[in-house]
Amino acid sequence: MPQQAMGFYLKPANTYVIIEKEWVLFTVLTGLVYCIHLVWMCYGVDVYASYERHIPCEGATSNDDASAVYDVWILLCIIFHMVEWIRQTIFATSALVGVNLVTVYYGLYVMIPFGVIVMLGGSIAAFTSEGDCQDK
């Protein structure tokens, strides 16, 4: 079989053929990533719903002020991990069920820059918040 350029293998139809033939390897890899996103998504929901986010820290006069420091960033992080979790489910479906969903999987790559922005924004919010808020 002649060697092709990388772009050939990245076309959804060709990628699907590779996934279908090497389904065990791809199922194990996507299962690991799936579990990672599931754990981080559950942790984010736990933190978002926790009573501890309402503990007042420096400068907060109400429960809403105390939780406003991280609420948006935690929510955006949960959304990112949920979409990535769904993306891995789509990939696993392609590998295990034999349905070509690679185009949908590729389409959800738009979440990667979103994830980087959320990571940077959450880090900036954490490092610029009051010192007392960082301990909570």
pLDDT in tens, 77-97: 999 999 999 999 999 999 999
Q: How far apart are CA 85 and CA 38, in angstroms?
A: 6
Torsion 89-92-98-101 (CA) sign: positive
Q: How far apart are CA 121 and CA 68, in angstroms?
A: 14
pLDDT reading at 47 higher than 80: yes
pLDDT of residue 133: 61
pLDDT reading at 119 higher than 60: yes
Tokens describing residue 49:
């719903």
pLDDT of residue 51: 78
